[in-house]
């Protein structure tokens, strides 16, 4: 004999003036008596049709848990946890095993989600009450009120789908309300690059006035290394014999270990820095942007770069140097596979965005060497 009775709807004989609930019985571990557990339906549902629809969903959710061994006397009654509290718990867990920047993104997205919940008077909504209709309302809010781009919209959908998958996995709810939210077409991501005149401004200013930042600039331009990776690279990761840079998986954006071949101009510059005089465990870019033992935040690099650019009237982002280096290599005839490997793109479709941005028509070499019929 089961120690529970499956959930069913208590509809108060159809009386809308009384509070409906879904109830199930579970045997008390000490006295053996069957105890009734109630999951009250929200008063937001004003019609019988809406109440029955929500009640069926909740009944299915509870019965699925009971059939899979759920015991309300042994486990926290997570079905009826406040949604905000549940998501904050998941984001906190994410922080333990995701990159710092990824964790910050989840936190930022959740904060905006909570702002929307407050505006919709849903701050007390429980996990099991949040359904597809609410998810779609939030998605619509992103477009109509926040006026986010299609790409940002898709990022929100992807991140919240991931968060709610974690809730499903932990049996907070039966199905993910964000899986039905359609992503929007993005089109090609815009690629911004420095002009030749802007590159001249960099070359005329930084080597003399801020050689430490000049090294960072070249790491991004020549080697396509991200600022967050740069501040974690150590002297030992630079091999002047093989002319390579090792980017370990634990600091890489993709979590994959990669070896980057140094373009000759950068290799020749790196030799002049005499890195051998520093301990292998020193960070290449540390306090004051010089080699040292202290790990710094990538924002420190961006701040100093902005300060220097203001001095020369340059309004550009540091990371756009990566796009610039890739674009110039394409214009110089680099093949797409080399560019993909150098930029460490896992998907060649991403690399093709650079091709379309920097090579809008067939090259002269292609036309001149086209085979005869």
Tell me the mean pLDDT in the region 241-265: 91
DSSP 36-83: EEEEEPPTT--SHHHHHHHHHHHHHHHHHHHHTT--TTTS--GGGSBH
pLDDT of 95: 85
pLDDT of residue 206: 96
Q: Supply angle C-alpha 211, 217, 294, rounded to 5.
A: 70
Predicted confidence at residue 103, as pLDDT, reads 87
Res 65: pLDDT = 83
pLDDT at 133 over 80: yes
Q: Which residue has the higher pLDDT, 161 or 38?
A: 161
CATH placement of domain 196-360 = 1.10.443.10
Q: Give the separation between CA 95 and CA 187, rounded to whole angstroms.
A: 31
- 155 confidence band (pLDDT: 50, 70, 90): very high
Q: What is the pLDDT of residue 214?
A: 97
Residues 168-179 have pLDDT tens digits of 888 777 789 999
What distance in Å separates the CA atoms of residue 307 and residue 367, rounded to the nearest whole number? Answer: 46
Q: Is the pLDDT of residue 261 over 50?
A: yes
**pLDDT at 33 (0 to 100):** 85
Q: What is the average pLDDT score of the chain?
A: 87
pLDDT-derived band at 154 (thresholds 50, 70, 90) equals very high
pLDDT digits (tens, 9 = 90+) for 162-209: 999 998 888 777 789 999 999 998 765 667 788 889 999 999 999 999
Query: pLDDT-derived band of residue 78, with 50, 70 and 90 as boundaries?
Result: very low
Q: Give the tens place of pLDDT for each residue, 100-111.
A: 778 889 999 999
**Residue ranges per domain, the chain?**
4-75, 81-169, 196-360
Strands annotated E in the chain:
4-10, 21-27, 34-40, 238-239, 244-247, 258-261
Best-predicted range by mean pLDDT among 70-74, 99-103, 318-322?
318-322
């Amino acid at each position: 004999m089961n120690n529970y009775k499956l959930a069913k709807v208590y509809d108060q004989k159809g009386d809308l003036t009384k509070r409906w609930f879904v109830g199930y019985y579970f045997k008390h571990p000490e006295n053996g008596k069957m105890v009734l557990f109630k999951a009250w339906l929200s008063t937001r549902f004003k019609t019988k049709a809406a109440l029955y629809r929500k009640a069926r969903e909740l009944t299915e959710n509870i019965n699925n848990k009971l059939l899979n061994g759920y015991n309300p006397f042994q486990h926290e009654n997570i079905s009826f946890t406040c949604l905000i509290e549940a998501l904050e718990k998941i984001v906190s867990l994410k922080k333990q095993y995701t990159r710092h920047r990824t964790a910050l993104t989840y936190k930022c997205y959740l904060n905006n989600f909570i702002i929307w919940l407050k505006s919709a008077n849903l701050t007390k909504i429980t996990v099991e009450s949040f359904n597809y209709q609410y998810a779609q309302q939030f998605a619509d809010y992103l477009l109509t009120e926040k006026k986010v781009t299609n790409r940002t919209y898709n990022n929100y959908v992807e991140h919240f789908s991931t968060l709610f998958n974690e809730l499903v996995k932990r049996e907070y709810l039966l199905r993910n309300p964000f899986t039905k939210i359609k992503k929007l077409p993005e089109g090609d991501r815009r690629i911004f690059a420095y002009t030749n005149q802007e590159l001249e401004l960099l070359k005329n200013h930084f080597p003399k006035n801020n050689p430490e930042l000049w090294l960072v600039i070249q790491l991004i331009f020549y080697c396509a290394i991200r600022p967050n990776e740069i501040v974690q690279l150590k002297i030992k990761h630079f091999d002047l014999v093989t002319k390579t840079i090792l980017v370990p998986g634990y600091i890489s954006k993709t979590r994959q270990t990669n070896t980057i071949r140094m373009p000759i101009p950068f290799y020749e510059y790196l030799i002049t820095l005499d890195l051998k005089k520093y301990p292998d465990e020193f960070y290449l870019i540390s306090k004051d942007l010089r080699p040292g033992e202290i790990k710094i935040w990538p924002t420190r690099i961006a701040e100093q770069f902005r300060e220097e650019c203001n001095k020369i009237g340059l309004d550009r982002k540091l990371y756009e140097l990566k796009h610039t280096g890739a674009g110039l290599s394409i214009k110089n005839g680099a093949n797409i596979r080399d560019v993909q490997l150098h930029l460490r793109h896992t998907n060649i479709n991403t690399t093709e965005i650079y091709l379309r941005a920097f090579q809008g028509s067939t090259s002269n070499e292609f036309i001149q060497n086209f085979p005869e019929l």
